[in-house]
Structure 1
Amino acid sequence: MRNKKEKTPRAKSIVWRIHGRQLLWTLLLFLILDAIVLGILFTIGLVDPTAPLRGLRLLTPLFLFEQAYFIFSLLFGSASLNRIMRPLTRLAETTRAISREKQDDEVLRQLENAIQAMDPQDGTLHTGNSELQGLEAAVNRLLQRMRESYARQARFVSDASHELRTPISVIQGYADMLDRWGKDDPQVLEEGISAIKSESEHMSHLVDQLLFLARGDSGRNPLKVTDFSLNDMLRETESEYEMISPDHQWQLKLPEEAIACRGDADMIKQAVRIFCDNAVKYAPADTTVTLGLRRDGSDVRLWVQDEGIGISQQDQAHVLERFYRADEARARQTGGSGLGLSIADWIIRRHGGRIEVLSREGLGSRFTAVLPIER
């Protein structure tokens, strides 16, 4: 008679077969980042041995970035693994329940063999037993979700690695320049340190965005729900951007009635700021940026419209995707990471709404957040 352990599907081995390679590559990325940070600190010390504290102070943001990225990976990876393990654990418990009910040993053997023999990457479970058709369908749906989750994670890690490669390469280049000429040339020294500081700040901002999305995906970004006035929020935002970007003309279009919203005021304001930041980046100086608000049945429509370069029809379908940028060179020039609109989309969807994009090349763009409200 076979014991109970032999009758239980090996859920953990399936997860390792799917995610083991990804985890190893992620660990390698951490080691590379550590080596780069230590190398830069050592190089700065060689260049300016009389002012080590200054160099360390300027490179502190880079070191903090590396630590934040490590924490992000732990949050994102552990949450993802837990999401996959939960349904597999339920599957194992279901199989044990079947075993406790003293089902036919041959049926259980067929189920276990079918699970162990399948390819989790692209295979499906097929036992050939009509008694297990319902369980087969449930397992195959689970595996499809796992494959989709794996593909999203692999793309996310790949995109994050690609995004970090450019600032790291810039830092390495300036570190080499400092090593060669910075010892004797104060101008080269100042230029190199300034560039390294700028790139480390860019990476720090990128890591903040990655952490926000990782916490959101793992359910660790709870909403702080309150009742607040959308009219007042837009007035505050418009006043802020009149100071932030005085080269643009800022305009408000608000209804006479006060429109209240129930949600996380800080997060919704963050989404509006992301729309405004995009307008500042891609609309020429002396053009008008309009912040508007109106009720639309049981919804409220909140928008930011610019007179910028616009977005092509093809790109409009993808602008809310993570790391998507219509023009890599232009995005690099403006400091964009391709994550801002993804964060805005997450915030609005978390409130039960959606983002609509309307744009024409050469005329400008309008980003509209559609939110449900209680009338």
Structure 2
Amino acid sequence: MKGWLPRVKLNTIHAKLLATYLLLTTLGTSLMASYILWSFYAYFMQTRQVDLENWTTALSESAADALQVKNLQRVEVLVKRYGAPQTITLRIFNQQGRLLATSDPRDKQVTDWYKVPGVWEALQNRPVQGITKGLFSTEDRLYIARPISRDGQLLGVLRMSITLEQVQRQFTKVIWSVLGTLAMIILICALISTRLARSLSKPIEVMRNFAIRLGSGHFGDILLFHENNELDQLAAELNRMSERLASLDQERRVFLANVSHELRTPISNVQVTIDALKSGAYEEPQLRDRFFQTISNEIKRLSQLIHDLLDLGRLEAGVTQLEQQMVSIRGLIHRAVNATEPRMQALGISVQVNVVDLAIEGDPERLLQAILNVLDNAIKHSAPNSQVFISGYKQGKQAVLEIRDQGQGIHESDLPHIFEQFYTTDPSRKGNGNGLGLAIAKRIVEAHQGTITASSVANQGATFTICLPL
């Protein structure tokens, strides 16, 4: 295992994260700025409207005093005093809508005052206010027109308008201030977003490159970085995957080496025997028959090895379809014992069976194959004139099957590997097996959602325990 940390470059993940952060920041700050500007504008307009209402209320009272006594000169003085030609226009009309006094000399050009916004409504005793264009310019003006009344009698109309230029100038300053602040906020957020996006994209890019290396066959590398978040968990899983792939790759190499060894031995034996027959052994009947028997035995061994390899491959790939039917454990044991009885009798081995009648759901032929493989292993390692004990009982929701022999047992160092492919406790591989029987049995039991374990006591034999769900 070796530490590995690739160099990370700016990538599309970083760009996407940065773009997302900037977009959200710009959108959020823009909405906030718009709300602030709208609030300021509403505040300015409301302030001017309140001022205009207060002014016209006070002026309408003064104008009512003058109109009540028909003092038009006083009305003129009032208009001239409070009207300003550039910013404030003040007009007073009589009850027929005729202009009595104005602060704007250009008003003499107007012939129909009923068309001026607010005049007609005020003559109907309805005060009106709003925003309109100036009579002699295109600038926006805030106006208010209110009736002048005294003791319930309409004496005239007062209309006052003010230019919004000053308000607009003030608002423009506010706009530039807000926009400047907005730009500064976006810039600061961009710098923060760049750092944040890089901190998030860097480990992701590291993991991507790490996965690419795994895909190219560099198993066993370790991903080194600490983020103290979910990425740490992902890195840990990638490290576990890397270690598992390295282990599987090693197992694959060992498997190929073992397969090569197992295939090479019978083929070499057959080749040597054929060469011997060609060299003259064919002329001697006794030697020829022995050589033919050797060829036959090696071909059978080779055929069994190929069959076991295909069987194991299908089980590991999960392509083997298991039948689902009710199976009697006792019936399976009797079939297995009957199949191996001639061999046990030849070796002087007896069997003692104590199995209760239990039923499980599974594939009877596959389960029989697993039991036969385990029983074959027990017979192979049993001493002559010894016994093999087979017991079956119920434990909780499982059916437990134990097969125990009276051989030398399994060495403690061999127990963890006993179910591995081609593993054998005979280093010279001179036994009859090929090291696949127990591996196949394990795959069959696991395919039935069960477990198989092995235990051993030195010089007292080994015990294989199969647990299957009822």
Structure 1: stretches of 5+ with no match in the other structure: 1-94
Higher relative contact order (CA 8 A, sep 6+): 1
Query: How far 1:185 moved relative to its partner?
Result: 2.5
How does 1:1-375 map onto structure 2 within 5 Å? 120-123=218-221, 137=235, 142-246=241-345, 247-255=348-356, 258-329=357-428, 331-332=429-430, 334-373=431-470
Question: How many residue pairs are counted as aligned between the two chains?
Answer: 274
Q: Deviations over 1:280-318 (max 9, x none)?
A: 222233322222101112222101122223222222222
Q: Deviations over 1:56-96 (max 9, x none)?
A: xxxxxxxxxxxxxxxxxxxxxxxxxxxxxxxxxxxxxxx99
Calculate percent identity across the aligned residue pairs: 27
CA distance in 2, matches of 1:214, 1:270: 15
CA distance in 2, matches of 1:165, 1:325: 17
More strand by share: 2
Q: Deviations over 1:173-212 (max 9, x none)?
A: 2122122222432333222222111111101101111111
Q: Which amino acid aligns with 1:249?
A: S
CA gap of 1:126–1:171, structure 2 versus 1, over 3 A, is: same
Q: TM-score, normalised by structure 2?
A: 0.51
Query: How far 1:133 moved relative to its partner?
Result: 5.4
Q: TM-score, normalised by structure 1?
A: 0.62
Superposition RMSD on alpha carbons, in Å? 3.5
CA distance in 2, matches of 1:230, 1:116: 49
Q: Tell me if structure 1 keeps the 8 A contact 2:392–2:402.
A: yes
Query: How far 1:116 moved relative to its partner?
Result: 6.4
Q: Which amino acid aligns with 1:210?
A: L
Query: How far 1:134 moved relative to its partner?
Result: 7.8
Q: Tell me if structure 2 keeps the 8 A contact 1:348–1:369.
A: yes
More helix by share: 1
Query: How far 1:217 moved relative to its partner?
Result: 1.7
In structure 1, what is the equivalent of residue 108 of structure 2? none
Q: Tell me if structure 1 keeps the 8 A contact 2:210–2:223.
A: yes
Q: Tell me if structure 2 keeps the 8 A contact 1:300–1:370.
A: yes
Q: Tell me if structure 2 keeps the 8 A contact 1:309–1:363.
A: yes
Q: Deviations over 1:127-185 (max 9, x none)?
A: 9999x958973765654444333222222111111222222222222122122222432
Q: Tell me if structure 2 keeps the 8 A contact 1:290–1:306.
A: yes
Q: Which amino acid aligns with 2:309?
A: L
Q: Tell me if structure 2 keeps the 8 A contact 1:271–1:347.
A: yes
Structure 2: stretches of 5+ with no match in the other structure: 1-10, 20-197
Query: How far 1:359 moved relative to its partner?
Result: 2.1
